[in-house]
Amino acid sequence: MEQLEKTIERIEKPDMAMKKKAMQRLADQARPAGSLGILEPISAQLAAIKGTLDVHLTEKIVITCAGDHGVVKEGVSLFPPEVTPQMVENFVNGGASINVLARQSGARVMVADLGVNFDFSPEMPIFHKKVRKGTSNFTKTPAMTRDEAVKSINAGISIVDELVKNGNVDIIGTGDMGIGNTTPSSAIIAAFSGISPSELTGRGTGINDAILANKIRVIEKGLELHRPDPNDAVDVLSKLGGFEIGGLAGLVLGAAAHKIPVVCDGIISTAGALIAFELAPGIRDYLFAGHRSVEKGHRFMHERMDLVPLLDLQFRLGEGTGAAVAFQLLDAATRILAEIKTFEEVAIINAQK
């Protein structure tokens, strides 16, 4: 736990004096107050994180965490687990949806293997952080041990540490790949909120009514069997989660500790962010919700963390796609704060009196 605890201890409040200064500049700009909606508080939040009114998000990276899930054996997904390593290779080769959308946003994509049931070549240019080849089936046993849960979180923290050590990182987007991983993600928000899985569980990759009903039963069985402690995020992760979800939590914690803004993608990335939030509520100051997906549980995650999603594009893909698209809005937010002139700067007198 030492690495995790030390990382949490390093998370500080952003520069609130700079945030106040940013809000004042926004109020003084030559336009109606509040007329640029949520881009205004976003720009002030970024200013507080970066300690400047002129924020530049030049070095963008999406980190897509991958892992397999034992619960897939319960028939909760349309796709077989063999797709997970195939998609990792697609990400590396630049041919996936996230690669295309990240290029449009000026971001690079890197993949992290946290628990894929496949032996990748050590030379493959990914973060090799495998905890184990897939989680256990949580309808039978806990998804992982507590030590493995902590190891997965620490792996995400280490990725951020390595990125910072090797060069500048201005913003991180989180993404996922793992067949069946909407099931543990829905189970996680059910465990924290106490809300019935029937209200939280969506169709993932597009399952039919029969598979959806089975998916809900599977989550209910896991909750009843393990009774995860909602006051212990590591317990929830270990009993119901995924190695990539732990890695995603670590990315958020590591980013906050390094004062790097982080944009979470869909329900799986947000499940990781929720684990991080339950461990260290201070990460909220560094966290942005890229979008709201069609997955029912995603809304409950946002509400629990008091996050307003930047977009609602009816995405249900994952990979980091929503985060990549949201990068463009965050770029826009930085420019409205820095470049829109104030009434004083353009010599407009008594404009709002």
Q: Which residues are catalytic?
A: 319
Of 187, 188, 156, 184, nearest to 172 by C-alpha is 156
Tell the residue number behind the tokens 């958020």, with chain if given.
252
Strands 127-128 vs 60-67: parallel, antiparallel or unpaired:
unpaired
Pair 321, 315: CB distance under 8 Å: yes
Asked if 98 and 62 count as a contact pair (C-beta separation under 8 A), the reply is yes
Sequence-distant (6+) residues with CB within 8 A of 147 are none
232 contact partners, CB below 8 Å, separation of at least 6: none
Residue from 309, 338, 109, 149 nearest 229 by CA: 149
Across 178-225, where does the E strand assignment appear? none
Q: By C-alpha distance, which of 290, 285, 242 is closest to 65?
A: 242
Helix (H, G, I), strand (E, B) or coil at 144: coil
Using alpha carbons only, give the angle 111, 234, 228 rounded to the nearest 5 degrees: 120
Number of H helices, E strands in the chain: 14, 6
Backbone angles phi, psi at 171, to 5 degrees: -160, 145
Q: Which H/E stretch holds residue 91?
A: helix 83-93
- Biggest CA–CA distance in the chain, Å, is 71
User: Which has the closest alpha carbon to 235: 113, 138, 306?
Assistant: 138
Alpha-carbon span 68 to 85, nearest angstrom: 9
Please tell me the distance from the alpha carbon of residue 58 to that of residue 140, in angstroms, as a whole number. Answer: 46
Q: Judge contact between 280 and 233, C-beta under 8 A.
A: no
